[in-house]
Amino acid sequence: QSVLTQPPSASGTPGQRVTISCSGSTSNIGMTTVTWYQQFPGSVPKLLIYANDLRPSGVPDRFSGSKSGTSASLAISGLQSDDEAVYFCSSWDGSLDGPVVFGGGTKLTVL
Amino acid sequence: QVQLQESGPALVKPSETLSLTCSVSGDSVSSYYWSWLRQPPGKGLEWIAYAHWSGSANYNPSLKSRISISVDTSRNQFSLSLSAVTTADTAKYYCARFDQYDTWGFFAFWSQGTLVTVSS
């Protein structure tokens, strides 16, 4: 079981806006920031969002992150077929599980 | 551009020690923290440990008793040792730069990963 909870799958059609949730607790998301990684099949995870809502250079502004309380969300607008990947959330954890914890990943399918 | 390349055996026998080294280019290991992560085939990511050249380190509690991590500034490398491996340790192992800021951080740059299989 992962410390952070993500839905195993999500889907959308091209052009749509989809969101992926990440649920944690007061010992992780509730006390610090959330990071999102994107991983294409057979490829290396790539930093997508850090500090809840900041994008590294090169990441399109179609990707956005937010956090509220002990949950976070990744939103992808103007969905493209190239966005089909697995998305992982991550956070710092101040409990015995930490300090770095991940969600189990959400497989995004573009229909 | 920061690049990381791991090296080490692809096959390790049960009960033996898995040893990996990550060579860094485009950056100095004297800066930042440096980390190891792994991903079993078809599964999610697991953070293993991170370390700073000063000796500061942090470990995944579930692996702590079996892990050793070190940073070699003279070679611009860092290394991982995982002892008493079992088939559950079969995974793709990644090395990464960990940008830490007090009680948060992120893995900014990753290696391509190396699949390590534990089998007799």
pLDDT digits (tens, 9 = 90+) for B9-29: 999 999 999 999 999 999 999
pLDDT higher than 70, residue B119: yes
Comparing CB atoms, the residue among B98, B103, B113 nearest residue A32 is: B103
User: Which chain A residue has the Cα nearest residue B58?
Assistant: A99
Average pLDDT across chain A, whole number: 95
pLDDT-derived band at A17, boundaries 50, 70, 90: very high
Position A97 scores a pLDDT of 65
Give the gap in angstroms from C-alpha A40 to the nearest C-alpha of chain B. 12
Contact map slice: B 58-87 vs A, CB within 8 A = 58, 60-61
| β-strand partners of A47 | A37
Q: Which of A59, A97, A100 best tests the B interface by mutation, with the highest count of B CBs <10 A?
A: A100
**pLDDT tens track for A25-76:** 999 999 999 999 999 999 999 999 999 999 999 999 999 999 999 999 999 9
Q: How far apart are the C-alpha atoms of B115 and B9, rounded to whole Å?
A: 9
> How do beta strands A18-23 and A71-76 pair?
antiparallel
Q: In terms of Cα–Cα distance, which of B70, B78, B69, B68 is closest to B27?
A: B78
**pLDDT tens track for B42-85:** 999 999 999 999 998 999 999 999 999 999 999 999 999 999 99
Q: How far apart are the C-alpha atoms of A74 and B83, rounded to whole Å?
A: 37
Q: Which residues of A touch B69 (CB under 8 A)?
A: none
Helix count and strand count (H, E) for chain A? 0, 9
Is the four-CA dihedral B94, B95, B99, B103 of positive or negative sign?
positive
User: Which chain B residue has the Cα nearest residue A92?
Assistant: B104
pLDDT-derived band at A79, boundaries 50, 70, 90: very high
Comparing CB atoms, the residue among A56, A94, A102 nearest residue B47 is: A102
